[in-house]
Structure 1
Amino acid sequence: MISKQRMKIVSTNQIAKDTIEMVLKNSYISENAIPGQFIHILVEGHTLRRPISIADVDKDNETVTILFKKLGSGTEKLSESKAGDFLNVLGPSGNGFETSTEGLHTVLLIGGGIGVPPMYYLGKSLAKQNIHVISVLGFQSKDHVFYEEKFQQFSKTYVVTNDGSYGDKGFVTSVIPNVGEFDRYYSCGPLPMLKAITNELSEKEGFISLEERMGCGVGACFACVVPTNTEKGYKKICSDGPVFAAREVIL
């Protein structure tokens, strides 16, 4: 259930170009968050909250880790927050990933840019259930790469950069043919990337998380909708998603 919470900032660090890692403390959200959900953060001086994916959860220490890029005035302002500050947050929000493991042996995670963080918490969760995990992480360049070593702790990890300055050169779809067999895929990233992946893996079971600007974040304003193949037609990314079955949405 979504709840308004105060989250104390434990730490904040820049871990790659324009990329901030922030650890937040809150017992309710850390206890209830599942992979694929997000928190909706109120930023001082801005009317609309900022949706930020949950990258990790530590239930023992009651912390939640988020990662975000400084892409505008809202995230720039958020990045100026310090340890000890408190954030006004709605969460955990949205529907997360399908993590039932019956019949699963190997899964493929595909993250692009700031779509990488939700893949981390998902991958850790699946690995704890003895699922074999393969990860493909796409970034613009070497300066933007983060969490490679963290993913390597539980998965076979491939890194690809657009300019070839680190790892393989190209896009995540360039690497997918080389990863071997898998039973299901999960992905989060820019819309063009998701379109390419769902087209290439149309015969595979998959789940995708959509990145989208939001209004209310609770499904009341219809600012974030996506066309689907269902009888409902359109669904709301903030409340019906952000995770959808790959074959359910029309990208």
Structure 2
Amino acid sequence: MMKKEELIVKDLKEIALETYEMVLENSFVSMTAKPGQFLHLQLDGHMLRRPISIASVDKEKNTVTILFKINGSGTKHLAGYQPGYVLNALGPAGNGFTLDSESSTILLIGGGIGVPPLYHLGKQLLDKQRKIISILGFQSKDYVFYEKEFQELGETHIVTNDGSYGTQGFVTDALKNIGDFDSYYSCGPIPMLRSVSSNLEHKNGYISLEERMGCGVGACFACVIPTDNNGGYRKICKDGPVFHHKEVSL
């Protein structure tokens, strides 16, 4: 269920280069948000809302944590909001990850700002006593975040494009170092997701798409993606952002 809500900024800090962690207080969102869902935030001076994935929730404190990277005027503006500021948001929005009840070992593959929703998922999977392996990809050492948090979930591999930290290359380069697993969940830019889906075509997998949106409720058709059958389309904001990797054409 999605509602228009007001969220109070409780904390804001820079956790990596141009990457911020913001803690927001709202009882409805913290109690109902599922892994893979997002908040569609209204920012002062900007017509279009900004979709930001949910990284974790704390039901006892009624808080929800989001992470975002400055990549334009909207997120730069968001990074200026201090504790006490009230944000207007639609959410929790979208359809989240489908938990595979048959999988005992699960691989999480995140790229850049696609990492946060996988942390929310990983915490829930750990509560269900699943074994978790994570591959996290970043541009360079300066952009790495949440390494310790993922290590607390299970085996974690860091990959950087320039090799300044962890393994040099892309997330798919780290697959050769991974043991057997039953299914995977991945979030990141489309080129990364395309490569992951191709490399793991024989596995059961789910992908979460990063996309700029218009309305965020499926009315404007600004964020559609073709399916792999019948020439149809899916709306990323409403039908996604999570899809089975064989459902859509990247």
The TM-score with structure 2 as length reference comes to: 0.99
CA distance in 2, matches of 1:104, 1:202: 17
Residue aligning to 2:125: 126
Does the C-alpha gap of structure 1 residues 153 and 80 become closer, same or farther in structure 2, counting only changes over 3 Å?
same
CA distance in 1, matches of 2:217, 2:176: 38
Is 2:52 the counterpart of 1:52?
yes
CA deviation profile, 1:184-207 (whole Å, cap 9, x unmatched): 000000111000000000000000
Is 2:72 the counterpart of 1:72?
yes
Does the C-alpha gap of structure 1 residues 43 and 59 become closer, same or farther in structure 2, counting only changes over 3 Å?
same
**TM alignment of 1:163-174, pairs within 5 A:** 163-174=162-173
SS class of match (1:198): helix
Residue aligning to 1:30: 30
SS class of match (2:60): coil
CA distance in 2, matches of 1:194, 1:229: 15
Matched residues, number: 250
Alpha-carbon distance, 1:232 to partner: 7.0
Residue aligning to 1:191: 190
CA deviation profile, 1:84-126 (whole Å, cap 9, x unmatched): 110000000000001142x211000000000000010001100
Q: In structure 1, what residue type is equivalent to 2:20?
A: I
Is 2:134 the counterpart of 1:135?
yes
Is 2:180 the counterpart of 1:176?
no
Q: Percent identity?
A: 59
SS class of match (2:10): strand
Which runs of 5 or more structure 1 residues have no equivalent in the other structure?
none
CA distance in 2, matches of 1:230, 1:85: 45
CA distance in 2, matches of 1:117, 1:232: 32
**TM alignment of 1:69-148, pairs within 5 A:** 69-101=69-101, 103-148=102-147
SS class of match (1:249): coil
Q: In structure 1, what residue type is equivalent to 2:171?
A: V
Say what the alpha-carbon RMSD is for the aligned residues. 0.8
CA distance in 2, matches of 1:6, 1:179: 42
Q: In structure 1, what residue type is equivalent to 2:34?
A: I
Alpha-carbon distance, 1:229 to partner: 2.1
Residue aligning to 1:152: 151
CA distance in 1, matches of 2:228, 2:164: 39
CA distance in 2, matches of 1:110, 1:198: 11
Which stretch of the first structure deviates more once superposed, 224-233 or 11-20? 224-233
